Amino acid sequence: MKFQALSLMSSVALLALSTPAFAQLSKPEAKMAATVDAEYERSVALLERMVNQNSGTMNFAGVKTVGDMMRAELEPLGFKVAWLDMAKAGRSGHLVATMTGKKDTKKLLLIAHLDTVFEADSPFQKFVRNGDEAVGPGAGDDKGGMVVIVSALRAMQAAGTLKDAHIEIHMTGDEEDAGDPIEITRAPLIAAGKTADVALDFEGLSIEDGKDMGVIARRSSNSWKLEVSGVTGHSSLIFDSTYGDGAAFELARIIHQFRTELPEPNLTFNVGLIAAGQEATFDNDGVRASAKGKTNIIPGIAIARGDFRTLSEDQSARVRQKMQAIVSASAPKTSAKISFDPGGYPAMAPTEGNKALLAQLNLVNQDLMAPTEGNKALLAQLNVVNRDLGLDAQPPLNPLKRGAGDISFVANDVDGLVGLGVYSKGDHAPGETVDLASIKRQAKRAAILMSRLSMSK
């Protein structure tokens, strides 16, 4: 990894020499914090405008319109903004914004996404505010994250730290349903990761037991399809030497062995769709199944789709091998095959460099409120920021609590952090609710962390 990781003890020792205990923010950093607070209502208004513009992944015009909204915010800050059309992959496109500051500064890669899971025909379409909370499609995932980016960058501009920063922003238009082939849709992001020093992902903040958590790892997302065939005939003859077990029982045998033989740390797996009968098929998108049969007919076909999630590519390969072995042990008079969809999301492993970034942010958190005993166990670099903002340290979140995301495509090339966006509840479902007040602390964390990272190479 390009970001120099320090051990926990050496990081804390170095900070003790360079930073007074519970140091106050510098004047530019205090200006950033004040700017975020002063522009809170402006940030909420921007979020409302974006949420009220539908940008379901397949609403290509809507995704582009939200991209145009972001262009209108970023160009006045000095960013060069480009739209990367992805029609060749069956998607709208991506917004990429770049600013090149001093040559001896770290290159920061900021990641967010323009699309939501709520398509144009969803009944859930409007932003409704109630004090410091609001309900709306994509209010948290990920339009709130884009608002945090804008708020943080505006604060940096007000404090004079933006002009020297080297930042590249990628806002993808198909994070919720990636285009095919994914090698095309994620090529720009992967290329950016190979030249970046730090990656910051602005999907939602994770909170556990009332405490903000730091996310230094995300698991992969891999989809699979299972197809089973058997001999069909009258149900009174099932299990004999001519008709065997039938496709439905063989599918059940495979699924049961997945449940009993696959479990291991950091792995989850799921069967999301299943059907069996004389006939059984999936639709072209693989999200609907239809079946036809009778109670007195042995099913000749059974099908299922699902996913599994891992913390490393080695683990993904091991799980695939186990699944293949289970599938190949066919019951009498049946056969089965399993296939894995290409272009899944890779894993983002919890590297030492990611831990170092988390500790730096936590030192900023600490000076935004009274320091706590928990700050004595700082991880490495994210907690530097948290300390100086007076916010509690952010312990690393268990990767089982977080799904896949775009940052995983650059995780093998650059260290990074996830969860710099807003806090929200009920994502991906009607009633998605955002904690608007979280815009302020997340934007302050991001602005100060990016400014500090930009001070040195």
Give the model's pLDDT for residue 403.
65
Give the model's pLDDT for residue 305.
96
Side chain identity, residue 272: G
Q: Edge-to-edge strand order for the sheet containing 433-435?
A: 128-130, 133-135, 433-435, 424-425
Give the model's pLDDT for residue 208.
87
Give the model's pLDDT for residue 22.
34
Question: In residues, how long is the chain?
Answer: 457
Give the model's pLDDT for residue 220.
82
Q: Domains in the chain and their CATH numbers?
A: 8-217+350-453 (3.40.630.10), 222-340 (3.30.70.360)
Tokens of 360: 């730096």
Residues lower than pLDDT 70 in the chain: 1-23, 362-382, 399-404, 456-457
Q: In whole angstroms, how far apart are CA 408 and each of 38, 175, 327, 361?
A: 34, 12, 29, 20
| Percent of the chain predicted with pLDDT > 90 | 67
**pLDDT tens column, 279-326:** 999 998 788 999 999 999 999 999 999 999 998 889 999 999 999 999
Give this prediction's pTM. Answer: 0.80
Rounded distance between C-alpha atoms, residue 57 and residue 372, angstroms: 43
Give the model's pLDDT for residue 406.
82
